[in-house]
Structure 1
Amino acid sequence: MLVAHWTFDVETVDGRRVADAAGGGPVAELNESAQIVPGRDGGALSLDGRGRALIPAMPQLVLSQVFGFSVAFFVQVVEEPTGEWRSLLYKPVAEHDARALGMWLYPDEMRMRVQLFTVKGPEYVDGHTRPVVGEWTHVAFVVDQEGMFLYINGRLDTGMSLEHAVVTPAGPIYLGSEPTKPGFGGLMDDFRVYASPLTAEAVAALAGQERG
């Protein structure tokens, strides 16, 4: 079930505020380093390492493993590895809680790491597919009662079973830089949050969307 969808298209943008195109989610707030620019289909969120879009915590954005959840988006990284972990997505368990669902680019290579916390501590998977600098890549992360799974460009890239319950990430969503760590440089588009685990077919359909 789609619960929120930020397209970053011009009709959803008001200054530094971006509305949820699905209608029920909160407004994303852009900091001074983030911009809206032409993207793969309409507008896109442009980030420079310091830029971020902050999506406030709301009940429909509480991601529960009991029901399963998914996040999906297109990303275009425009910089080579910088020697630092660069954040794509960060959603803490609660505000100011260090435990979080996070997605980062490796410091020294074009690979992704996705991490969440279970009641026993952090669990993570490292992607195998390397996004190409300057090209659009579709990313989907799916969690259900059995495990967590990373899809790149519509195909299952990696995953793992989860023996212990996931600590629910209920805090705000940071797209780009975290409160204390840098983000990636590039573009993000079509950011979606689902309160259900997407099927492989649904992920492939999202990744195969035609540009307008």
Structure 2
Amino acid sequence: MAINYPGPYELRIFYDTQLTFGAHVMKLNLDLDSDPEIGAEFEDISTENHDASTTPLNSLTEALLTVLAPLFQSTTDFPLVELWSYAAGTFDATFRAAYDPVVSNGSAGTAIPAGQAIITFRTAGGGIAKLSLMESNLTAGPDQSFPTASTPINNLASFMTVASRPWLGRDNTRFLVPKAYFPGQNEALWKKYNRTSS
């Protein structure tokens, strides 16, 4: 696959922090052990992990949301997760499946309006992958290397990098090690909150 393209499959985690502009989507590239039919159930779809094991996609999704929940306030809603596929070397996405998660809410803290926390990872191909958390409970602060001062962030980074996971960077290689954590603010979203009408 060409460098810097999404896919071959993408998990889209929809979430709403219940703030004014709180609807967001987290997108993660991953690999599957076979090409699923459109409309397949998540429990009938298996990931292809980096240690050659497989995991039912519904189990992976619930495990991911369990790790994400402590990073979001309890009123944050995770109503839907979708699976999409991409034609190699393109941005052309095709819907494959949808899932109603059991872990459907955050569990801690207070949402930070316009907050954006970014975790970067070194991939096995030498690239950089990024994971962005919008309006989580993480306050802005200085950049941190790993392990960070945040146990939930360290847990998420570990979840993304173990060999029994299917995550891919856009260079089509696995997340190898966490690199840095940037707790900050999204400028475009901050402007939405703070713009004034003339």
Say which structure is richer in strand.
1
TM-score by length of 2: 0.29
Say which structure is richer in helix.
2
TM-score by length of 1: 0.27
Larger radius of gyration: 2
